[in-house]
Structure 1
Amino acid sequence: MEFAGKVVIVTGAGMGIGKGIALAFAREGAKVTVADMDLDSARETVKEIKAGGGEAIAVLVNVANSAEVKAMVDETVKCWVTVDILVNNAGIGTSAMVEDMTEEDWRRVIDVNLTGVFLCSKAVLPLMKARKYGKIVNISSTGGKRISYNGGANYTASKEGVIGFTRHLAYETAPYGINVNCICPGATITPLIQRIATPETLEERTRIIPKGRLCNPEDPAKAVLFLASDKAEMICGVALEVDGGSLLGWMDNESYEKKRKKKGASGDDS
C-alpha cells in the first residue's frame, strides 16, 4: 500500500470530495484524521473506513478558528505522533451578487476557504519542518482560474487566493523537504449537488466538459493522492486542473460538434 503508516489530516472530510479523499487514503494504508464541522458526518466517514479495515478518527473542527485547528492537530499527534500529509479541503460558498452580498457573507466564505487553509497549514509546518518531510495539498477550484459558475465573488476570490497561497508556501517550504500543491476540481457529483441541482442544470454543466461527464469524488481524490506521493517529489506549487477539460473553453460539446461537421463539409479550417 502506497501510504502505509502515513498520517493524513483531511478537512471537510464528512462528505463529498473530502470524504472521497479520506477513503482513498485509507484504502492505501494511511491513518486518517477525518475533520469536519459536522461531527456526525465525520463519524460516518470513519465508520466506512473502519469497515474496510482502515484506521481513522473523527475530529470536530472549524478551520477558521485557530484554537480548534490546534486541537485537531494535537489530537492527531496524540493518536499517531506526527502529521505527514495535510489536505485542506474544507470549503463553503454562496451565490449572491456583489451588490446583494453582506459583509458577513464575504467574511464567512473567505474565513473558511482561505484563512482556514492558512491556519491549518501553519499548524502542521513545525511538525513537517522538524522531520524535513511533508505534503500539503490544497483544494482550490476551476472557479479559482476563472469566475465561479455557481458561487459568488467571495468564492472566486477565496479560490484564487488558495492558488496564490499554495505557490508562495511551496516556495517557502521546499528547502525543508515539504511539497505544497493544489488541485482545481471542476463540477463534481456530490450528495449536495445531487440534492440541489436539477437534471437540466447538470446537463447544462456537462455540455461544456469535453470529456462528457462531471467529476466523481474519486477523480479529485486520485489527483490528491498523486501529489501527496513520492512520485510528485519534484512538483511544487502547481494548481492541477481536474475538470475533464472544462477550462479549455466555454463552447459546449453540441455547438462544437456542429462546428466540426461544418468544417468537414466546407473544408474550412477556421
Structure 2
Amino acid sequence: MRLKDKVAVVTGANSGIGRAIADRFAEEGAIIAVVAMNQERIDSTVAEIKAAGGRAAGYRVDVSSQDEVKALMASVAEEFGRIDILINNAGITRYRPFDTTTGEDWDMVLNIDLKGVFFCAQAAAPYMRKQNYGRIVNISSAAGTGSTPGASAGSPGATAPYAAAKAAVNMLTKTLARELGPNGITVNAVAPGTFPTAISTSTRTPEELAAHLERRKQTLVLQRIGTLDEVATPVLFFASDDSSYVTGQTLCVDGGRFDRM
C-alpha cells in the first residue's frame, strides 16, 4: 500500500473527482478526512469508505472561510496525530458569457477555487513543517492552461472566472513549491480535462451534456472521455513517495487536447 497510515485531507471529497481520489487513497491505506459542505453526502461517503474496509472521518467545512479551514486542520491533527497529504479539490464554476458574468459570480468562483486552495495549504503547512514531510496536490483544470472553444452558455468560453482561478492555481502551485520545499513538502497540481462530474452535469441537460462530451471527444488525441480513476491515479502519484523528487509541476490529464499540445 502506497499510502499506508498516511492522513489525507481531501476537499470536495463527496462526489466526482474528489470522491474517486478519496476511494483510491483509502484502498492504498490512507486515513481520509472527507471535507465538503453537504453533511448527508459527507456521512454517506465516510460510511461507504468504512464499509469497503477503509478509514475515514467527515468534516463539514467552507474552504473559503479561513477560520473554518484552520479549525479543520486542527481537528484532523488532533484526531489522527498528523497531516501528511492535502488534496485541494473543492471547486465550483458558473457558466456564463463574459458580458453577463456578475461580480457575485466572480467572487463565488474565486473564493472557492483559488482562495480555498490557498487557505487550505496555509492551514495544513504548519503541521507538515513540524514533521518535515508533506504532499500537497492542487486540482486545477485544463481550462486554466488556455482558452476553451465551444464551452457552453452560448459563448466560446463562458468560463472566465473558473479559467482565471485555475490558471492562478497553477502559478500558486509553483510559488508554494518554492516556499515549502525546504521543509520536505512537495506541491504539485493535476489539471483534468473533461470528465463526467457534478460540475459538468449540473449545468447542462442530458442532451446538452451528450453534445458537449461528443464535441470534446473530437478535440482529443485519444478520442474518448476519461474515467474518474484516470484522474485519481496521477493524483495518487503526486501524493505518494513515488514522486518524492517532483515538485512545482502541473500535469495535464486531458486525453491529449489538440489545443493544448
Are 1:229 and 2:236 counterparts? no
Structure 2 gaps, min length 5: 153-157
Looking at structure 2, the residues matched to 217 and 127 of structure 1 have their Cα atoms a distance apart, in angstroms, of 30
Structure 1 gaps, min length 5: 252-270
Looking at structure 1, the residues matched to 198 and 50 of structure 2 have their Cα atoms a distance apart, in angstroms, of 21
In the TM superposition, residue 205 of structure 1 has moved relative to its aligned partner by 1.3
Bigger radius of gyration, 1 or 2? 1
Question: Over aligned residues, Cα RMSD in angstroms?
Answer: 1.6
Aligned residues: 250
Looking at structure 2, the residues matched to 232 and 40 of structure 1 have their Cα atoms a distance apart, in angstroms, of 35
Alignment partner, residue 141 of structure 2: 141
Looking at structure 1, the residues matched to 217 and 48 of structure 2 have their Cα atoms a distance apart, in angstroms, of 30
Looking at structure 1, the residues matched to 109 and 216 of structure 2 have their Cα atoms a distance apart, in angstroms, of 23
Contact conserved, 1:208 with 1:250, CA < 8 A, in 2?
no
- CA 225–250 in structure 1, closer or farther in 2 if over 3 Å, else same: closer
SS of 2:5 mapped into structure 1:
coil
One-letter amino acid of the structure 1 residue matched with residue 166 of structure 2? K
Q: Deviations over 1:198-244 (max 9, x none)?
A: 32222111111111211221111101100111111111100001011
SS of 2:190 mapped into structure 1:
strand
- CA 191–98 in structure 1, closer or farther in 2 if over 3 Å, else same: closer
Q: Deviations over 1:97-148 (max 9, x none)?
A: 2221111110110110000000000001111111110000000000010124
2:227 to 195, 203, 216: 216
SS of 2:161 mapped into structure 1:
helix
One-letter amino acid of the structure 2 residue matched with residue 70 of structure 1? K
Contact conserved, 2:129 with 2:185, CA < 8 A, in 1?
yes
SS of 1:72 mapped into structure 2:
helix
One-letter amino acid of the structure 2 residue matched with residue 103 of structure 1? G
Looking at structure 1, the residues matched to 223 and 42 of structure 2 have their Cα atoms a distance apart, in angstroms, of 32
SS of 1:236 mapped into structure 2:
coil
SS of 2:95 mapped into structure 1:
coil
| Greater alpha carbon shift after TM alignment, 147-156 vs 96-105 | 147-156
Looking at structure 2, the residues matched to 33 and 213 of structure 1 have their Cα atoms a distance apart, in angstroms, of 32
Q: TM-score, normalised by structure 2?
A: 0.92
Looking at structure 1, the residues matched to 137 and 27 of structure 2 have their Cα atoms a distance apart, in angstroms, of 18
Are 1:29 and 2:36 counterparts? no
Looking at structure 2, the residues matched to 2 and 160 of structure 1 have their Cα atoms a distance apart, in angstroms, of 30
SS of 2:8 mapped into structure 1:
strand
Are 1:55 and 2:50 counterparts? no
In the TM superposition, residue 161 of structure 1 has moved relative to its aligned partner by 0.4
| Greater alpha carbon shift after TM alignment, 67-76 vs 57-66 | 67-76
Q: How does 1:181-220 map to 2 (within 5 A)?
A: 181-191=188-198, 193-194=200-201, 196=204, 197-198=206-207, 199-220=210-231
In the TM superposition, residue 40 of structure 1 has moved relative to its aligned partner by 1.4
One-letter amino acid of the structure 2 residue matched with residue 209 of structure 1? L
One-letter amino acid of the structure 2 residue matched with residue 40 of structure 1? E
SS of 1:5 mapped into structure 2:
coil
- CA 191–157 in structure 1, closer or farther in 2 if over 3 Å, else same: closer
Q: Deviations over 1:81-102 (max 9, x none)?
A: 1100000000000111222111
2:256 to 240, 245, 250: 245
One-letter amino acid of the structure 2 residue matched with residue 177 of structure 1? G
| Greater alpha carbon shift after TM alignment, 52-61 vs 91-100 | 91-100
One-letter amino acid of the structure 2 residue matched with residue 145 of structure 1? T
Looking at structure 1, the residues matched to 147 and 107 of structure 2 have their Cα atoms a distance apart, in angstroms, of 18
One-letter amino acid of the structure 1 residue matched with residue 214 of structure 2? E
Q: Deviations over 1:33-90 (max 9, x none)?
A: 0000112112221122111111001110110001111121122112201100000000
One-letter amino acid of the structure 2 residue matched with residue 94 of structure 1? R
Contact conserved, 1:82 with 1:127, CA < 8 A, in 2?
yes
SS of 1:249 mapped into structure 2:
helix
Contact conserved, 2:146 with 2:260, CA < 8 A, in 1?
no
Identity rate, percent: 40
SS of 1:113 mapped into structure 2:
helix
Are 1:4 and 2:4 counterparts? yes
